[in-house]
Structure 1
């Protein structure tokens, strides 16, 4: 897989696995839109203090960092970049869990639900 940084935006340190990139591509195809990117952000909340937000976004905000993973754009806002540097987004599809997972080396601790961290 080839990752390239967009020329007009700074890069971020988030990685998207091939399985996750394939799932994002599939979801975008279902939406029938080619103007959306996967945005990952860190927001205050959850039982451990911070929560992840993953959603499709057509906006380009000032200070966004963007990396393209074989046609799948991943966007991180400037405030979230330090919290997500080195994180890997994957997609799990097992009997126990289905959905996107985030392995973040910057998370000191997380809650039992796995949706928030500090």
Structure 2
């Protein structure tokens, strides 16, 4: 099976903590691409109770991950990690398909999909 998205063990640990804290045990982790941001596309991470018939289902480190067929090509090879720093912790997303990203670090674009850029003021 093709893995469009890789979730590291550290990211999976924090996702499980969030699921427990929010009462979302048994939910799917949705990894998505949305239009917006300075460069045109942004990432979305969230919990969903059900998967769509248009989703690919992945299982890594005890987490059920769903990726829409539409987003799969943009996310192929993407790695989701969780890193701690002096400023706190947070998820990082490394996408080999991103050819440009915004200075704020939250949006990107690919060679095949530009998205819908917004003004970054």
Name the TM tier (shorter chain): 0.7 to 0.9
**Structural mapping, 1:66-85, within 5 Å:** 66-85=57-76
What corresponds to 2:32 in structure 1? 41
| Deviation digits for residues 16-51 of structure 1 (CA, Å, limit 9, x no counterpart) | 000001111111111233231111110111110111
Q: Does 1:59 align with 2:64?
A: no
Q: 2:83 aligns with which of 74, 78, 92?
A: 92
Count residues in correspondence: 109
Question: Runs in 1 of length 4+ with deviation above 4 angstroms?
Answer: none
Unpaired runs of at least 5, structure 2: 110-121
Report the TM-score when normalising by structure 1: 0.85
Task: Describe the SS at the equivalent of 1:80.
Answer: helix
Unpaired runs of at least 5, structure 1: 6-10
Does residue 102 (structure 1) correspond to residue 93 (structure 2)? The answer is yes
Partner of 1:25: 16
Give the superposition deviation at 1:60: 1.2
Distance 2:70 2:33 in 1: 8
- The structure where strand makes up a greater share of residues is 2
> Secondary structure, in 3 states, of the residue corresponding to 2:102?
coil
Name the TM-score, length of structure 2 as normaliser: 0.83
